[in-house]
Amino acid sequence: MEQPNMSYIHSMSGGDKSFETQLINIIKQEFPDEKAIYYKNLKAGNLKMAAENVHKLKHKISILGLEKSYDIAVAFENNLLEGHTELDNAFESILNNMTNYINTL
């Protein structure tokens, strides 16, 4: 599985460490709540709302340089909108991977 990284954040910041720190802090603050809401909607069978949650989470997936994971998230979002939960295990692995990485920052 691909590993999260700071490449995109570094390219956006142009070397501005303050900007990087602010962006990381936003991710650390928002990600756990967004993940929890996603799981709540998925467990409740509210797949349309879960798809919206995946849509929001895709941005953080992209920011953390997870290109293949982003593609999986796009497919999973579409599956949810069609009423299917295929790829839920793959998406959960992505979220766990991100959680572990964010906890090291």
Q: Tens digit of pLDDT for each residue in 36-88?
A: 999 999 999 999 999 999 999 999 999 999 999 999 999 999 999 999 999 99
Its pTM stands at: 0.94
Contacts of 28 (CB under 8 A, 6+ apart): 102, 105
- Is residue 27 within 8 Å of 66, Cβ to Cβ? no
Structure token pair of residue 83:
């009423």
- Burial level of 73, CB count in 10 A (0-12/13-18/19+)? buried
Q: How many CB atoms lie within 10 A of CB 83?
A: 10
